[in-house]
Amino acid sequence: MRRLIVFVLLITLFTGCSRIDNSEDYIAIVNDVSSYNNNKLNTATTGYKYYLPIGVRVVKNLDFNQVFSVLNTNMYMYVDVVSYYYKNFNNSKVGNDFNYYYENISNNGNFGYIGINKEDDSYFTVVSYNYAKIEFYANKSNLSSIIGYATLILDSIEYNDNVVEKYISSNDIVSNDTVYSIKKPSDTNSKFNQYLQEYVQEEDQITILPEE
């Protein structure tokens, strides 16, 4: 039964259908979508390429930060090229940080987690994987589908080592403080929170879509 649900989910994601019935086996969705992902890259930005699924549109492109829209939901992505450069896998949170759901992710040599906080009728979700993170608020009715979209994007990311190395090198030159702040971070949260603040400060420039 679970395989049937995941198969329908995959058909939905790759054909751009609007919605499927929800499955609460969220880690299975992440694992199975990752295993089926054909990584047909169709979008390029600074330092990496990724697959943008049918039905998902880019609302804002800030190089290492992207804002996507799908199913009337905004998804916020931060790509942590610093952790990628240093191959830092220590980006997992404690399950107690999430009141509804938490599982670690380990696929194809990449690590991360999926965590969900239930806030009234809304579900704040974090999918962290492949040195990147996507966060969003969703209703229960579209939670599984958006997790699938987020996984497709994160799993497909392919880094440009030359560009990443130049970025790290240029930041090393700026100042001694910069060198200290970007060398082998213990947790990608430190950088992610910084860019999350940028999203908040520029929120008036983003078209906020109503939640379903």
Residue 23 has pLDDT above 70, yes or no: yes
Q: Give how far the C-alpha of residue 146 lies from the chain's centroid of Cα atoms, to the nearest Å.
A: 11
Q: Is residue 191 part of a domain?
A: yes
Domain that holds residue 89: 2-205
Instruction: Count up the domains in the chain and report the number.
Output: 1
Give 73-84 pLDDT, tens digit per residue. Answer: 999 999 999 889
Q: Is residue 210 part of a domain?
A: no
74-90 CB burial, b ≥16 within 10 A, e <16: bbbbbbbbbbbbeebee
Q: Is residue 211 part of a domain?
A: no
Give 164-178 pLDDT, tens digit per residue. Answer: 998 888 864 333 333
Using CA atoms, how far residue 51 sits from 17, 200, 210, in Å, is 17, 26, 25
Question: Which own/partner contact pairs does 1-8 have at CB distance under 8 Å and 24+ positions apart?
Answer: 2/28, 3/32, 6/32, 6/33
